[in-house]
Structure 1
Amino acid sequence: MKNVLVIGVGPHARRSHLPALAAGQRDGLVGTVCGVDVLGAASVLTVFDSDDGPRDLPVTPIVPFPAGEQTLPDAVRQTLDGLVVRRGIDAVVVATEPALHMVYARWALERGLSVLLDKPLGVRPSASTDPAQAGAILTDVDDLLARYELARRHRPDVVVSVQSQRRYHPAFWQLRDLIAEVAEATGCPVTSVQSFHSDGQWRLPDELLDLDYHGYDRGYGKCAHSGYHFFDIIPWLLAAGDASGKIADAVRVHTEVTRPVDLLAQLGVDDYERLFDGFAARNRYTEAELHTGLHGFGEVDASISLAFTRAGRTLTLGTLNLFHNGFSQRGNLAPAAALYKGNGRVRQETHIIQQGPFQALHLHSLQTLEDDSCAGDRYATGGDRHVEVHVFRNDRFRPGWKPYTRLDHDALTTVDGRIAAPTQQSSRRRSVSEFLLYLNGRRSRHQMRSDLTTHRTAAALMAGTYLSMAHRWSGASPEATLSLTPTLAAIPAPVRAREVIVR
């Protein structure tokens, strides 16, 4: 059984990673689990019982450090190194603030440890306003890919798996299979994709300044919070059409955003005083003070236009709309304790895919309510769990095709003989389970759905999105063009100079 270190045991890890690791213990895949979190983090020393998390989870505090740091402070590195030795750590789960993902992943690879990396791969502070920081999102990933290659030379079984749970969701498996079938039959790639995601995160004006958990004060927002799932799933679905032989080598990106100061134009302080009894007494800021304090904050909503090209010709057009400021079930003045994962958040998600004149696919996952546990899968339109795929095919071109098929929750639960609940939470658990099975020699590398090496295009989309934002902020053209040709960055000299540490 493998021993696991969880870096960051906040609300997200408690909801997603720790229960899955507890299940791994019960299945004989995981030995001991320990955690680290920053000194002063809320409830950092909470002991989890066996129903909710690993048995007797010890958590070691570490000193906080700025998110922009590219190397770990000596004190933090020494603490982590000590835990690796004392606890016999085999693998690491990185579930921290996104801007810290890279520095912990680099540390783990230098020690020959496998990594389950939470999304996004990484982000830089001020990415939405500083083009240099936006561009570094992709160069950081290229650097990590190079370090991954180096680590595998020394220890071939090392793996970095990215927790992009939609790759583990049966509805997306079905989309991918349908795209591949038509590409094989016709030679037509995906020609357009429209993706939409809203999660109803409604923060009141004073909360935009005062609440920093998954906030906007670091100069990034929705696109780094949950947007990476869509930067990832779009190219993952496009790749299903690779049988056509028509594969993009570049992408053009144009982004329009709503920032916190824009929200004040939609609903200002006066509006909130009418909407909520008690807001005037609670709010400490004038509208002018809010405008000043929110300057340079990251995006709340983003509307992204994509053009995937090959040799200058457009293969696929895409639109990606990522919204925090959408339909919500929050009705209270005081924010819920859960904040990001509670507070009335309701997920509504759609994907519309066109494959030339041959096929159209619609995926809809539409919640109406949010449950108290924040699991977010139990209440939805039309029944217990609302997810459905609509398939339209040109049967006049090929009479053997069915012109219309609808796949609901029950139909998607069993895909090609595989029984798996088509919910986001169960898909997260499957991603952790796959990682643990690999560590225990029960999955091969080629069976891993989300290896780091398959994520460069997603990183390019995220970098391009932030480059477009930052260009507009600085007064330049908001269009960004990025190459999709895989390249490994040169290994930095300090890494080349020392051997990767293998226990």
Structure 2
Amino acid sequence: MLSEDAPRIVLAGLGPYARTFYYPVLERYHSIGRLTIDAVIEKESQRHVVEHFLKGRSIQPQRVVLVPDDLDHDELSVFLEMEDPLSGESAWGCIVATEPRAHRAYAEWAVRRGMHVLLEKPVTARDLREKGPVEALRLVSDHRCLAELADRYGVTVVVQAQRRVHPAYRMVKEVVGEIVAEFGVPVTYLDIHHADGTWNMPWEFVSRDGHPYKFGYGKLLHSGYHFVDLFCWLSEVNQQAAVPPDRVGLDVFPVAANRLGAQLAEASYERLFGGKRWRHFGGLPRPASLPRQSWGETDVVLLARLMRGSEVVTTAVLSLLQSSLSGRSWLELPADTYKGNGRIRHERVTVNVGPLLAVQAHSYQDGRADGTSPFEVVIYRNRRLVGGEAVTRFTMRSEAGEVAEASDSLNNRAREQILEDFLAADGRRSGIALHGTTVRVVAAAVAGVARSAQGESGRSAVLLDAAAREWYRAE
């Protein structure tokens, strides 16, 4: 039975991801009296999608609010202020799962009304088509504004960065941190690889509004945020090293959505799908037909150096790919573009602590009948110097039925733990203030992608000091 004091939750954004994860979890929590689904907010153009989705749900929101389309950040902020979607009524919290360019407007609106916020990654995004490098660096001022606003209004803003609570990654950080703290040797090398198998047909880069590329950003402000955050979060252990780093040097190597012709030519598509089927879509606009448009990246490789002055403490490689192995074998977009469009996730992390320790973690979706993707961690030690077993192996799985979605269950459970933190107004694991370094590195990387598109260098340096105002230098 629903308690009268159950927190009232607003869900801003009912896109494919929110329909797959957030609404079913909120529905389950509502059914056991832990919360009330107060309102769902979406764009007017999504009316039919919202109505169709909610028609089959066991629990309905108390209200659905549709806002005008095509509002930029300032216009949306004014609309939310003047046309308050909650009509002056209070709610306990708001989950912001809109397209990222709207994140700041919704988060500000919620915080100013005293709501706790669960904010989907990335913290914010901006339209990068005209002033890409400049707008990218403003992601940092967006973050600072939201963190300061939350502090002023006494509410908690939690960022959905579930790998911070993922049991495998917490094990990796704990094992590595113990060696770094005891011996003073830093993490000397990090390799993070993520491939999410998002295969967009050429015309979809132009037409898609969810996970778009047409606004000048791509992988880094899609799933890439998670892995820059993982790099920054794991690297925190280096503050216990004999020589802790004070800056990050970055080199950025992107592949833009309008440059994929060198990888998949028209003849390749015709061979794969058949000439007749392929030519049926030939008249649709595609990036190559809009040469003056700036496009976001499908893939990006970051070469990073954690440094103290001119001394290199850690070298790192982050390979973040969307044009990777996919299960897609169709041309038309399905109704479910989140899990139903052939995505195959391959994820791997390697951490070296000099000659003392190596840790490898990986999770590959490999078509298991039960839909699970076990997470394996292998720890290699120089046991004569640091003790322990020379090799230790762990395979982690969620218990059957622990999460509604069988596939990727450990990640889903970690997402739900972040949701639990939000409901407890607990920002100790992924509060917005903890994401300062991540946002600075992401902003510098996105600026590097934009500068590369202009024929300039994508190299930069980022200070780790959260208080530094002159935190960025293009090189």
Q: Which TM-score applies when normalising by structure 2?
A: 0.88
* Contact map agreement 2:211 2:222 (CA 8 A) in 1: yes
Partner of 1:31: 36
Partner of 2:280: 281
* Contact map agreement 1:128 1:469 (CA 8 A) in 2: no
* Contact map agreement 1:200 1:346 (CA 8 A) in 2: yes
Aligned counterpart for 2:301 among listed residues 281, 300, 303: 303
Aligned counterpart for 2:376 among listed residues 375, 384, 388: 388
Partner of 1:429: 416
> In structure 1, how many angstroms separate the alpha carbons of the residues matched to 2:397 and 2:79?
51
> In structure 2, how many angstroms separate the alpha carbons of the residues matched to 1:308 and 1:133?
25
Residues 29-38 or 17-26, more deviating = 17-26
Change over 3 Å in CA distance of 1:369–1:59 after alignment to 2: farther
Change over 3 Å in CA distance of 1:308–1:27 after alignment to 2: farther
Aligned counterpart for 2:68 among listed residues 57, 63, 73: 63
> In structure 1, how many angstroms separate the alpha carbons of the residues matched to 2:64 and 2:463?
42
Q: How does 1:331-350 map to 2 (within 5 A)?
A: 331-350=329-348
Aligned counterpart for 2:80 among listed residues 72, 76, 80: 76
Are 1:162 and 2:159 counterparts?
A: yes
| Structure 1 unaligned regions, length at least 5 | 153-157, 372-377, 414-420, 490-503
Please state how far the C-alpha of 1:28 moved relative to its aligned partner.
3.2
Partner of 2:12: 7
Q: Deviations over 1:434-474 (max 9, x none)?
A: 211x14xxxx55xx310111000110111111121122222
Please state how far the C-alpha of 1:272 moved relative to its aligned partner.
1.4
> In structure 1, how many angstroms separate the alpha carbons of the residues matched to 2:243 and 2:34?
41
Change over 3 Å in CA distance of 1:37–1:349 after alignment to 2: same
Aligned Cα RMSD in Å? Answer: 2.6
Q: Which TM-score applies when normalising by structure 1?
A: 0.84
> In structure 2, how many angstroms separate the alpha carbons of the residues matched to 1:129 and 1:303?
22
> In structure 2, how many angstroms separate the alpha carbons of the residues matched to 1:480 and 1:53?
51
> In structure 2, how many angstroms separate the alpha carbons of the residues matched to 1:256 and 1:45?
42
Aligned counterpart for 1:16 among listed residues 21, 24, 32: 21
Partner of 2:185: 188
Question: What code does the residue aligned with 1:212 have?
Answer: D
Q: Deviations over 1:390-421 (max 9, x none)?
A: 100111223x32110010125999xxxxxxx9
Partner of 2:198: 201
* Contact map agreement 1:329 1:370 (CA 8 A) in 2: no
> In structure 2, how many angstroms separate the alpha carbons of the residues matched to 1:82 and 1:424?
32
Question: What code does the residue aligned with 1:452 have?
Answer: I
* Contact map agreement 1:183 1:243 (CA 8 A) in 2: yes
Aligned counterpart for 2:139 among listed residues 137, 140, 147: 137
Partner of 1:315: 313
Please state how far the C-alpha of 1:84 moved relative to its aligned partner.
6.0
Please state how far the C-alpha of 1:362 moved relative to its aligned partner.
0.5
Please state how far the C-alpha of 1:334 moved relative to its aligned partner.
2.2
> In structure 2, how many angstroms separate the alpha carbons of the residues matched to 1:410 and 1:260?
35
Change over 3 Å in CA distance of 1:385–1:294 after alignment to 2: farther
> In structure 2, how many angstroms separate the alpha carbons of the residues matched to 1:411 and 1:359?
27
Q: Deviations over 1:91-143 (max 9, x none)?
A: 11100001111121122222222110000001111179721111111222122
Q: How does 1:226-237 map to 2 (within 5 A)?
A: 226-237=223-234
* Contact map agreement 1:254 1:306 (CA 8 A) in 2: yes
> In structure 2, how many angstroms separate the alpha carbons of the residues matched to 1:411 and 1:27?
22
Partner of 1:450: 430
Partner of 2:391: 404
Change over 3 Å in CA distance of 1:282–1:24 after alignment to 2: same
| SS at structure 2 position matched to 1:83 | coil
Partner of 2:327: 329
> In structure 2, how many angstroms separate the alpha carbons of the residues matched to 1:269 and 1:9?
35
Aligned counterpart for 2:444 among listed residues 450, 458, 464: 464
| SS at structure 2 position matched to 1:396 | helix
Change over 3 Å in CA distance of 1:91–1:109 after alignment to 2: same
| SS at structure 2 position matched to 1:205 | coil
Please state how far the C-alpha of 1:337 moved relative to its aligned partner.
2.2
* Contact map agreement 1:387 1:409 (CA 8 A) in 2: yes
Q: Deviations over 1:334-391 (max 9, x none)?
A: 23222243211000000011111111110110012499xxxxxx53xxxx43210010
Partner of 2:50: 44
Partner of 2:128: 126
* Contact map agreement 1:4 1:93 (CA 8 A) in 2: yes
Aligned counterpart for 1:217 among listed residues 214, 217, 221: 214
Partner of 1:482: 462
* Contact map agreement 1:125 1:218 (CA 8 A) in 2: yes
Please state how far the C-alpha of 1:427 moved relative to its aligned partner.
1.3
Question: What code does the residue aligned with 1:389 have?
Answer: V
| SS at structure 1 position matched to 2:317 | strand
Change over 3 Å in CA distance of 1:141–1:488 after alignment to 2: farther
> In structure 2, how many angstroms separate the alpha carbons of the residues matched to 1:134 and 1:3?
34
* Contact map agreement 1:129 1:469 (CA 8 A) in 2: no
> In structure 2, how many angstroms separate the alpha carbons of the residues matched to 1:183 and 1:304?
24
Q: Deviations over 1:169-205 (max 9, x none)?
A: 1111111110121122211221211101111111222
Please state how far the C-alpha of 1:56 moved relative to its aligned partner.
4.0
Question: What code does the residue aligned with 1:282 have?
Answer: F
* Contact map agreement 1:6 1:92 (CA 8 A) in 2: yes
Please state how far the C-alpha of 1:73 moved relative to its aligned partner.
4.6
Overall identity of the aligned pairs, in %: 28
